[in-house]
Amino acid sequence: MTDAKRFDSIFRDDLFAGRVALVTGGGSGIGRCIAHELARLSATVIVTGRRPEPLAQVVAEIGAAGGVAHARTIDIRDEVLVDEVIASLTAEHGRIDLLVNNAGGQFAAPAALIRPKGWKAVIETNLNGTWFVTQSTFMHAMRKHGGAVVTIVADIWNGFPGMAHTGAARAGVVNLMQTLAIEWAAAGVRLNCVAPGFIVSSGLHNYSPGVAKIAQESFVKNPTARPGTESEVSAAVCFLLSPAAAFINGATLRVDGAASLQKEPMLPMATVSRITPFHGFHLETDAPDGFKALVPRSTS
């Protein structure tokens, strides 16, 4: 039987035993889920973010489930602070073996209406912040003993209408990880990306009612006829961090139900999914009304 108080991972319990994992943006949503699964797989997890309260909650949740977690507040846009914190964490824990760049942020707006301040804020967080954390982790920890990095990006393959700023930033991150995969391979460091499609997560609470309505209708318009779960993204991340992915470097794994391949104008998408969702996270996000039913749980 599954222990309802622990993450129901498909990977073996000791997969990351003796490893230290850093998860940025680990206080909510997909980052919180990834932190839980890494801890379930015996990693010592460090969650970072700008607000201490969500981080403390995640640390408490992981502790209650029998895992080991620590929290550190950080603003990844501040390169000086990032370097100080990464250096401190490396000294405190002796190493950082796994890095998940999950922190990010954006807002919906037509490209013509994005003001310079908003553009710069998204680029600073999603592109520059990812770079600051990744470079600092390499210099202080992974350059000495290797490691694995997974960066969360987005479905940017056909442009990103409504979010031009994050589309540009995430595309830059994908190219950055490809470059680093080549430059840092000799140090034993692998860098890959995971690109989620429509995922039911706490970030949906940030949508305005109008955007939320459009999203709710759009989330099922893919070949899988449903949105994804946080657990499905986390499983992809854990695989890429694991030794089984030793020959995967500089790649981007799309976790989007084939949405990025859809040709709906030519072929209507399915309206009923026969691909059962994976719900491994025991504390799965309580999504806004109308979204949770899109990824039903088995009644058997």
- Give a yes or no: residue 11 inside a domain: no
CA–CA gap between residue 128 and residue 121 (Å, rounded): 10
* 163 contacts 104 by C-beta, under 8 angstroms: no
Residue 265's pLDDT band, with cuts at 50, 70 and 90, is: very low
Q: Which of 66-70, 117-121, 157-161, 205-209 has the highest mean pLDDT?
A: 66-70
pLDDT digits (tens, 9 = 90+) for 200-253: 887 766 666 776 777 777 788 888 888 899 999 999 999 999 999 999 999 999
With residue 52 as reference, give the H or E element that holds it: helix 52-64
- Which pLDDT value is given to residue 55? 98
Q: How many CB atoms lie within 10 A of CB 125?
A: 21
Identify the CATH number of the domain in which residue 37 sits.
3.40.50.720
- Please state the three-class secondary structure of 229-254 as a single string: EHHHHHHHHHHHHCHHHCCCCCCEEE
The residue written with tokens 């390499």 in the block is 138
**Pair of tokens at residue 137:** 């982790």
- Which pLDDT value is given to residue 266? 46
CA–CA gap between residue 66 and residue 69 (Å, rounded): 10
In the chain, the percentage of residues whose pLDDT exceeds 70 is: 91
* Higher-scoring residue by pLDDT: 286, 52: 52
Average pLDDT value for residue range 146-157: 95
CA–CA gap between residue 297 and residue 246 (Å, rounded): 33
Residue 3's pLDDT band, with cuts at 50, 70 and 90, is: low
DSSP string for 113-137: G--HHHHHHHHIIIIIIHHHHHHHH
- Give a yes or no: residue 235 inside a domain: yes
- Give a yes or no: residue 74 inside a domain: yes
Q: How many CB atoms lie within 10 A of CB 244?
A: 12
- Give a yes or no: residue 5 inside a domain: no
Average pLDDT value for residue range 28-38: 97
Give the angle 22-182-37 at the CA atoms, nearest 5°: 25
**Strands 98-101 and 68-73, how do they pair?**
unpaired
The residue written with tokens 């806004």 in the block is 288
- Give a yes or no: residue 14 inside a domain: no
Q: How many CB atoms lie within 10 A of CB 145?
A: 13
Give the single-character DSSP code of 205. Answer: G
Domain extent for 225: 20-294
- Give a yes or no: residue 102 inside a domain: yes
- Whether pTM > 0.85 for this model: the answer is yes
- Give a yes or no: residue 192 inside a domain: yes
**Strands 44-49 and 199-200, how do they pair?**
unpaired
Backbone angles phi, psi at 171, to 5 degrees: -65, -40
Total number of domains constituting the chain: 1
pLDDT digits (tens, 9 = 90+) for 160-192: 888 889 899 999 999 999 999 999 999 999 999
Dihedral of alpha carbons 148, 93, 7, 103, sign? negative
- Give a yes or no: residue 194 inside a domain: yes
